[in-house]
């Protein structure tokens, strides 16, 4: 049969344009990774610049606050990753239960809004509404008889505030993928389940959720690449000295170092470090998904 | 369906609607706030009176924004970018995703190819080598600098290849039996069957092209060539005020005007919101796939 | 992936946009060799350049001599936001570019231009990829990197040979520190863009209508400042019956330009963030001196007493500005031009009135305003540029047409339709006293009711003040800056009485600074914030010892070594 359809040649042909473009614009620049082991002297070019061995990595590891910063990064990033899967899936399921098409559509459109507001605009807004004295959120808390919370100024709260606000901003956009996946579930399965006497809850548990599972696994695995990305733009616009202890992350630290020093070497080293960690995680989860679930992600 | 009448079910449905409405409201308010600011007088905004309803309603900021030649020019660049960039993205996504969705037995090299693309999500050489490469290919300060470097959205490829994989093999095999080649199988069978996925990814590509600002700033040599978001970035983002001289102050008070910044956000948001409902149709209703599969 | 890519790009952006200082690390040998040989070759290239120039040009050392045939030099530049061009004009074709071509025989080829805010980022990429134009403007850190890496040319010879009298006078007007800061190993690599350091000194802005309402007089001492802050919090100055007003404005950065506390520290004779001479003649960092501790203690007391916004730690300058404009804040320290930021409030509430006041002091000794080093921009020439002297000629020409005997302000400064055409000039510099002189002249003209003696820029301030006095509130800020009781009058007072302390260090960033400033800056901000918000005052001593051990001590030694070499 293979030969009949031109063998594998059509596949190679289809891939050529993509392979070429990716080679030029992704692989050629990757040569720049050597900068992690060099000190850039622009007049000598990237390859003529002097080697410095592991010094850029040592520099990174010897910063006094590094361990706390790595912990903050992973803590915030992992919570965001978890929320970034759980919330959109839950919301997609909730939407799936809604019957009114108009309602469904309006809600879908609305939850998609915050994605389009930049953190610069949102940070101004969040500082207002989260203010302990004048903010709406705290007025609400007080009305409910609760104590006000200094969301952005209390080091204990800060990481959670970051996770919550990021989730709020992005979950609508994240829901889109799952909604599309829902359309792929065979209606016959629901009918069969209904015939077996399964209620809506059981249908959701035994038909919808398994149907979404491949997409959930896929998105989770891909999000692992972000385990060291806690969200630079957001935190940079919202943190302050009083929450450095729990809010300072790798990217903001590197930014401040960059502020004093055009150290491309260190920047590249940090980037490489993050890439290797993400690559490792994605590689492991790829293998695990294949071994255990017999599911190949890509 | 027969359980629909039970009170548990009814409570659940009511609660469900209520929760969703609540969440939607939480997502809606900030944009309403921005909208209200854009329609208010700058004095009212400056004194912090504007919350959700315009105070001192006027359209001056929109006149100001739309009257600026830079805005119109940048808007055109962005439209063109979407018009060319999205088809390029989608074509390449489809062409790459399809072969990679095949099993090893049909396509021996799918593994190496897949990793070839996935690696680029994770590793990059950094900004300087990226810039130097693009410069080397001679497209800096041209329209193509906004299109070619990101022409293959690998993340989208992975999503699409998973959709392709979930298609029932029988349909395609039947097609192949009928004498269709791989190309026909792709365009006549796989693509139409994946309409929801393709609509979703198209939306992602539109949003991505429309919203990205960084490339424009770095790769264009004149502010006149900036796409809309790059231009907005230069207007909206807070500047380092300490660099301002006394002479700049008068000018600054003009651009710091929060009402016009808000108006620009709203205007920039409009095109995507207009496109959204059209694409939404495909992934809001599970008809397309279901009908084929069922 | 989207998020991943965006954030990698953002990170690189962050890095690049912030890039400052040389990347030379810890005395790498190759580094030394590189800069050594590079500066040697730059030196010879420079002299070769001027040699050819003197050999070939008709009038070799004429500061404004015309090239015939015309030459082309490449450049890059920022274009400040709001710059307007006349009909059909652009950065490539305007009154300045035509004058360069007609009078100097120089055509400027702009490789790229950006809005001012994006300039550093784009230039850093150009520097890193060694893709430089003949002439460009750089900041101090970029200058040092370019010199260390041998990417720019020694301009000493061409400056001596071609620099006009006016250029040399203006660039040397601050006593030579500006030129010294562009000089490395005795070679001049960057022409300083002259400006005023005093423009970055604090004044105390206070709402006089509130003072009147509460029967208070203007603050003379730090005690007064505290009392006024207390009255503004507790006596309901806005009369709405609610305790919703703040005392003293402060931002999360503590220091800055609006709601900044430098002026407060100065009231305690403390000078955070700048280098000061101690009694034994050595240089020391102001942030770690005992006076700073005293000021912090007072701030803590005020914070505890509710005289500083409980949430100042999350508010930036624009938030403080909004509070002031909304009539919630009536007392803060800031720069002279802050009046422009208060205009919105004045427009909303005509009763609102602000007055800039010179810094009150804690004791009988008058306060001295701290003044950072004035020069933040330098003009440099690429190492292998063919015509380095063209940069000097352009500078001569620009300064001459703006401030010289043959100056034509109505042609080169602001045109008839009010476009700020001076923005089109490639190189720029203004007398450090320009704004102060403008204030003096405007006031004189106002008294005499005769603007005839004013230059175009001064005339515009004069006109605005006249319209404000005629009832147009839109120009209230001009009165508050250039008027007889304006902020520049206060600054002029500092200058006249010598009531300012200048940053004693104006060299290029030292190695220790490049390596450790990020850490030290965070340490300071964190410690100061904690102390202000009620931490133990002993944390200050802890901060000082940490500061010293994390590199501050080494930087102090470097700075003193620099001073010894001056």
| Domain annotation covers residue C465 | no
Cα separation, C260 vs C488, whole angstroms: 18
Question: A16 by DSSP, 3-state: which?
Answer: helix
Question: What average pLDDT score do residues C340-363 get?
Answer: 92
**What is the C-alpha separation between B159 and A62, in angstroms, rounded?**
40
Percent of chain B residues topping a pLDDT of 70: 84
* B92 CA: distance to closest CA in chain C (Å): 17
Q: Each residue of C77-106: b (16+ CB within 10 Å) or e?
A: bbbbbbbebeeebebeebbbbebbbeebbb
For chain C, percent of residues with pLDDT exceeding 90? 64
- Residue C552 within any structural domain of the chain: yes
Number of folded domains that form chain C: 2
Tell whether C49 and C142 lie within a shared domain: yes
* Residue in C14, C111, C114 to test binding to B, most B beta-carbons within 10 Å: C114
Nearest CB partner across the interface for B48, out of C129, C195, C326: C326
Say how far residue B91 (Cα) sits from the centre of its chain: 17
Q: Rounded to an integer, what distance in angstroms lies between the CA atom of residue B100 and that of residue B111?
A: 8
Phi-psi region of A131 (alpha: psi -120 to 50; beta: other; left: phi over 0): beta
Residue of A244, A263, A271 with shortest CB distance to C8: A271
Q: Which string of DSSP letters, residue by residue, matches B133-144?
A: HHHHTT-TTSGG
Question: Which pLDDT score is estimated for C62?
Answer: 86
The closest alpha carbon to A235, from A258, A251, A256, A224, belongs to A251
Q: Do B196 and A118 touch (CB under 8 A)?
A: no
How are beta strands C135-139 and C106-115 bridged, if at all?
unpaired
Domain boundary among C424, C452, C486: C424
Same domain flag for C342 and C397: no
With 0-12 CB in 10 A as exposed, 13-18 as middle and 19+ as buried, what is C536? exposed
> What is the number of residues in chain A?
298
Residues C236 and C186 placed together within one structural domain of the fold: no
Q: Are C174 and C249 in a shared domain?
A: no
**What tokens appear for A275 in the block?**
């890439």
Domain stop point among C424, C458, C492: C424
First to last CA, chain B: 19
Q: The tokens of C237 are what?
A: 């100055």
CA distance C384 to C46: 8
Is residue C244, in this structure, part of any structural domain at all?
yes
Query: pLDDT tens digits for C300-318?
Result: 999 999 999 999 998 888 8
Could you give the CA distance from residue C81 to residue C90 in angstroms, rounded to a whole number?
14
- Copy the structure tokens of residue C465: 């003040």
State the Cα–Cα distance between residues C518 and A253, nearest whole angstrom: 8
More confident residue, C491 or C455: C491
Q: CA separation (Å) from C418 to B200, C84, C198, C410?
A: 51, 9, 27, 10
Reported as a single tens digit per residue, the pLDDT across C522-531 is 999 999 999 9
C249 domain residue, yes or no: yes
Distances (CA, A) of C31 to C22, C133, C145, C262: 11, 24, 11, 38
In C268-360, at which residue ranges do the beta strands (DSSP E only) sit?
A: 275-277, 283-285, 331-334, 354-357
Q: What gap in Å lies between CA B51 and CA C128, rounded to an integer?
A: 46
**Cβ contact (<8 Å) for B42 and C344?**
yes
Q: pLDDT averaged over chain C?
A: 86
Neighbours of chain C (3+ CB pairs under 8 A): A, B
Q: What confidence score (pLDDT) does residue B43 get?
A: 67
List the domain range (segments joined by +) for residue C205.
200-371+503-565
Structure-block tokens of residue B10: 């009814």
- What H or E segment, with its residue span, contains residue C369? strand C369-371
* Subunit contact B240:C117, Cβ cutoff 8 A: yes
A243-274 pLDDT, tens digit each: 999 999 998 888 887 766 677 888 889 889 99
Residue B66: per-residue pLDDT: 80
**Which chains sit next to A, with 3 or more Cβ pairs under 8 A?**
B, C
Q: What is the pLDDT of residue A21?
A: 96
pLDDT the model gives residue C41: 37
CA of A41, closest CA in chain B: separation in Å? 13
Give the domain-ending residue among C390, C408, C424: C424
Calculate what percentage of chain B has a pLDDT beyond 90. 31
Lowest mean pLDDT among A201-210, B247-256, C473-482: B247-256
pLDDT tier for residue B239 given thresholds of 50, 70 and 90: very low
Q: Are residues C247 and C121 in the same domain?
A: no
The pLDDT confidence band at residue C11, using thresholds 50, 70 and 90, is very low
- What percentage of residues in chain C have a pLDDT greater than 70? 89
Alpha carbon of A290: minimum distance to chain C alpha carbons (Å): 21
Q: Which of A166-170, B165-169, C45-49, C445-449 has the least mean pLDDT?
A: C45-49
Q: Please tell me whether residues C398 and C322 are part of one structural domain.
A: no
Q: What is the predicted ipTM?
A: 0.85
Are B34 and A121 inside 8 Å of each other by CB?
yes
Check B92 against A107: CB less than 8 A apart: no
Please work out, in degrees rounded to the nearest 5, the angle formed at the alpha carbon of residue C33 by the alpha carbons of C30 and C35.
110
Residues C555 and C536 in one domain: yes
Task: Say whether both C328 and C382 belong to one domain.
Answer: no
Chain C residues touching residue A244 (CB < 8 angstroms): 522, 526
Q: Which chain C residues are Cβ-neighbours of A124 within 8 angstroms? A: 318-319
Whether the pLDDT of residue C296 is over 90: the answer is yes
What pLDDT sits at residue C146?
A: 93
Within-domain flag for C443: no
Inter-chain touch C344–B43, beta carbons under 8 Å:
yes
If contacts are CB pairs under 8 Å, which of residues 133-172 in chain A contact chain C? 133, 150, 152-153
Same domain, C111 and C154: yes
More reliable by pLDDT, A216 or B294: A216
Q: Closest chain B residue to A187 measured between Cα atoms? A: B290
**Within a 10 A sphere around the Cβ of C430, how many other Cβ atoms?**
19
CATH of residue C43's domain is: 3.40.190.10
Tell whether B26 is within 8 A of chain C (Cβ): no
Phi, psi (deg, nearest 5) at residue C237: -60, -25
Task: Grade residue B48 by pLDDT with cuts at 50, 70 and 90.
Answer: low
Reported confidence tier of residue B170, pLDDT bands at 50, 70, 90: confident
Q: In chain C, what residues touch A41 (CB-CB under 8 Å)?
A: 23, 31, 34, 149
Kindly state whether residue C444 falls inside one of the protein's structural domains. Answer: no
For chain C, the first-to-last Cα distance in angstroms comes to 53
What is the per-residue pLDDT for A150? 92
CA C561 to each of CA B48, B271, C548, C566: distance values in angstroms, whole numbers, following the listed order: 52, 60, 17, 9
Q: Which of B125-129, C382-386, C413-417, C487-491 bottoms out in mean pLDDT, i.e. has the lowest?
A: C413-417
Judge if C42 and C111 occupy the same domain. Answer: yes
Domain-located, residue C431: no
B contact test, residue of A26, A221, A222 with most B CBs within 10 A: A26
For residues C173 and C231, membership in a common domain is answered with no
Query: A59-73, A215-229, B126-140, C411-425 — which is least confidently predicted?
Result: C411-425
**Among A residues 47-86, those touching chain C with beta carbons less than 8 Å apart:** 50, 52, 55, 59, 63-65
Return the residue in C23, C80, C326, C336 with the most chain B beta carbons within 10 A, the one to mutate for interface testing: C80
Q: Are residues C224 and C190 in the same domain?
A: no
Cα–Cα distance, C198 to C490 (Å, whole number): 11
Pick among B2, B103, B108, B123 to test the A interface (most A CBs inside 10 A): B123
Q: Is the pLDDT of residue B257 over 70?
A: no
Q: Does A212 touch chain C (CB under 8 A)?
A: no
CA angle, C364 as apex, C360 and C365 as ends, to 5°?
80
pLDDT at C430: 87
Quick one: three-class SS letters along C441-460?
HHHHHHHHCCHHHCCHHHHH
Contacts of C30 (CB under 8 A, 6+ apart): A50
Confidence bin at C8 (pLDDT 50/70/90): very low
Is residue C225 a contact partner of residue C360, using CB atoms and an 8 Å limit? Answer: yes
User: Which regions of chain A are under pLDDT 70?
Assistant: 1-6, 259-261
pLDDT at residue C46, as a whole number: 37
CA-closest candidate to residue C325, choices B257, B224, A14: B257
Q: Does C390 map to a domain?
A: yes
Distance from the Cα of residue C19 to its chain's centroid: 18
């Amino acid at each position: 049969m293979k030969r009949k359809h031109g063998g594998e040649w059509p596949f190679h042909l289809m891939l050529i344009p993509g392979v070429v473009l990716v080679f030029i614009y992704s692989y050629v620049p990757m040569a720049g990774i050597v900068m992690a082991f060099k000190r850039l002297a622009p007049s000598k070019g990237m390859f003529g610049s002097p080697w410095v061995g592991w010094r850029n990595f040592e520099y990174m590891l010897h910063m006094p606050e590094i361990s706390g910063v790595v912990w903050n990064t992973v803590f915030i990033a992992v919570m965001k990753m978890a929320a970034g899967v759980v919330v959109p899936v839950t919301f997609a399921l909730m939407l799936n239960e809604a019957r009114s098409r108009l309602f469904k559509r309006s809600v879908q459109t609305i939850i998609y809004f915050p994605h389009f507001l930049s953190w610069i605009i949102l940070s101004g807004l969040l500082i207002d509404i989260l203010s302990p004295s004048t903010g709406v959120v705290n007025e609400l808390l007080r009305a409910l008889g609760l104590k006000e919370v200094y969301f952005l100024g209390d080091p204990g709260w800060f990481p959670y505030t970051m996770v919550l606000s990021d989730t709020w901003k992005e979950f609508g956009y994240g829901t889109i993928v799952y909604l599309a996946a829902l359309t792929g579930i065979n209606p016959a399965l629901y009918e069969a389940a209904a015939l077996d006497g399964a209620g809506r809850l059981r249908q959701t548990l035994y038909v919808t959720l398994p149907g979404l599972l491949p997409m959930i696994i896929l998105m989770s695995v891909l999000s692992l690449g972000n385990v060291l990305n806690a969200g630079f733009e957001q935190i940079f616009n919202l943190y302050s000295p009083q929450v450095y202890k729990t809010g300072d992350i790798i990217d903001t630290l590197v930014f401040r170092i960059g502020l004093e020093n055009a150290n491309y070497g260190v920047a590249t080293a940090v980037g490489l470090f993050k890439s290797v960690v993400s690559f490792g995680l994605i590689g492991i989860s790829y293998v695990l998904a294949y071994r255990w679930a017999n599911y190949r992600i890509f | 369906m027969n359980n629909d009448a039970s009170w548990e079910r009814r409570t659940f449905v009511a609660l469900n609607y209520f929760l969703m409405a609540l969440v939607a409201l939480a997502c809606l308010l900030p944009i309403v706030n921005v909208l209200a600011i854009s329609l208010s007088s700058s004095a009212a905004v400056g004194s912090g009176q504007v919350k959700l309803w315009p105070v001192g309603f006027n359209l001056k900021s929109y006149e100001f924004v739309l009257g600026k030649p830079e805005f119109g020019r940048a808007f055109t660049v962005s439209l063109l970018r979407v018009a060319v960039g999205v088809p390029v993205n989608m074509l390449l996504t489809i062409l790459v995703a399809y072969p990679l969705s095949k099993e090893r037995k049909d396509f021996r090299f799918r593994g190496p190819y897949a990793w070839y693309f996935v690696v680029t999500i994770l590793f990059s050489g950094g900004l300087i080598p990226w810039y130097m490469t693009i410069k080397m290919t001679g497209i800096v300060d041209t329209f193509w600098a906004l299109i070619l470097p990101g022409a293959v959205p690998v993340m989208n490829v992975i999503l699409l290849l998973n959709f392709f994989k979930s298609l029932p093999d029988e349909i395609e095999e039947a097609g192949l039996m009928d004498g269709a080649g791989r190309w026909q199988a792709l365009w006549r069978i796989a693509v139409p069957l994946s309409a929801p996925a393709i609509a979703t990814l198209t939306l992602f590509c539109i949003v991505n092209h429309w919203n990205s600002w960084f490339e424009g700033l770095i790769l264009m040599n004149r502010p006149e060539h900036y796409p809309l978001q790059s231009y907005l970035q230069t207007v909206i983002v807070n500047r380092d005020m300490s660099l301002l001289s006394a002479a700049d102050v008068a000018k600054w008070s003009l651009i710091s005007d929060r009402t016009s910044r808000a108006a620009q956000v709203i205007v920039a948001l409009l095109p995507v919101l207009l496109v959204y409902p059209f694409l939404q149709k495909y992934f809001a209703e599970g008809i397309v796939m279901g009908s084929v599969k069922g | 992936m989207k998020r991943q890519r965006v954030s990698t790009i953002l990170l690189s952006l962050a890095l690049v946009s912030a890039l400052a200082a040389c990347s030379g690390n810890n005395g790498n040998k190759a580094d030394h060799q590189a800069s050594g040989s590079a500066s040697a070759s730059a030196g010879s290239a420079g002299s070769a350049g001027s040699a050819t120039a003197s050999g070939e040009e008709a009038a070799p050392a004429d500061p404004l001599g015309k090239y015939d045939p015309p030459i082309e030099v490449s450049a890059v530049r920022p274009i400040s936001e709001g710059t307007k061009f006349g009909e059909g004009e652009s950065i490539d074709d305007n009154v300045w570019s035509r004058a360069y071509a007609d009078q100097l025989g120089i055509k400027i080829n702009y490789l790229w231009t950006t809005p001012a805010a994006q300039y550093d980022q784009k230039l850093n990429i150009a520097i890193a990829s060694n893709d430089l134009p003949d002439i460009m403007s750089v900041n101090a850190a970029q200058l040092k990197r370019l010199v260390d890496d041998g990417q720019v040319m020694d301009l000493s010879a061409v400056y001596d040979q071609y620099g006009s009298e006016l250029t040399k006078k203006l660039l040397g007007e601050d006593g030579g520190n500006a030129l010294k800061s562009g000089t490395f190993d005795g070679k001049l690599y960057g022409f300083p863009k002259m400006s005023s350091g005093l423009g970055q000194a604090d004044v105390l802005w206070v709402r006089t209508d509130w003072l009147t309402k509460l029967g208070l007089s203007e603050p003379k001492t730090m005690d007064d400042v505290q009392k006024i802050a207390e009255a503004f919090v507790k006596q309901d100055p806005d009369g709405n019956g609610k305790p919703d007003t703040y005392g003293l404005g402060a931002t999360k950065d503590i220091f800055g330009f609006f709601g900044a506390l430098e002026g407060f520290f100065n009231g305690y004779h403390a000078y955070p963030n700048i280098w000061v001479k101690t009694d034994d003649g050595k240089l020391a960092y102001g942030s770690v001196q005992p006076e700073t501790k005293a000021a912090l203690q007072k701030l803590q007391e005020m914070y505890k007493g509710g005289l500083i916004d409980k949430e100042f730690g999350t508010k930036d300058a624009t938030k403080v500005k909004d509070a002031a404009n909304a009539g919630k804040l009536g007392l803060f320290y800031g720069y002279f031009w802050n009046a422009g930021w208060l205009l919105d409030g004045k427009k909303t509430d005509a009763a609102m009135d602000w007055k800039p006041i010179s810094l009150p002091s804690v004791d009988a000794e008058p306060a001295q305003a701290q003044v950072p080093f004035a020069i933040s921009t330098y003009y440099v020439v690429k190492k292998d540029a063919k015509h380095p002297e063209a940069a000097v000629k352009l500078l001569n020409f620009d300064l001459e047409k703006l401030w010289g005997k043959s100056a034509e302000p109505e042609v080169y400064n602001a045109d008839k339709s009010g476009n700020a055409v001076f923005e089109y000039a490639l190189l720029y510099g203004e007398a450090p006293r320009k704004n102060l002189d403008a204030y003096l002249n405007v006031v004189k003209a106002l008294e005499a009711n005769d603007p005839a003696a004013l230059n175009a820029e001064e005339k515009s301030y004069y006109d605005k003040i006249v319209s404000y006095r005629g009832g147009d509130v839109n120009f209230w800020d001009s009165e508050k800056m250039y008027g007889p009781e304006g902020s520049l009058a206060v600054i002029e007072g500092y200058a006249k009485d010598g009531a300012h302390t200048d940053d004693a260090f104006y060299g290029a960033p030292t190695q220790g600074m490049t390596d450790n400033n990020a850490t030290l800056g965070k340490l300071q901000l964190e410690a100061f914030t904690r102390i202000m918000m009620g931490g133990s005052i002993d944390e200050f001593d802890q901060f000082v010892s940490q500061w010293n051990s994390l590199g501050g001590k080494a930087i102090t030694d470097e700075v003193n070594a620099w001073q010894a070499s001056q």
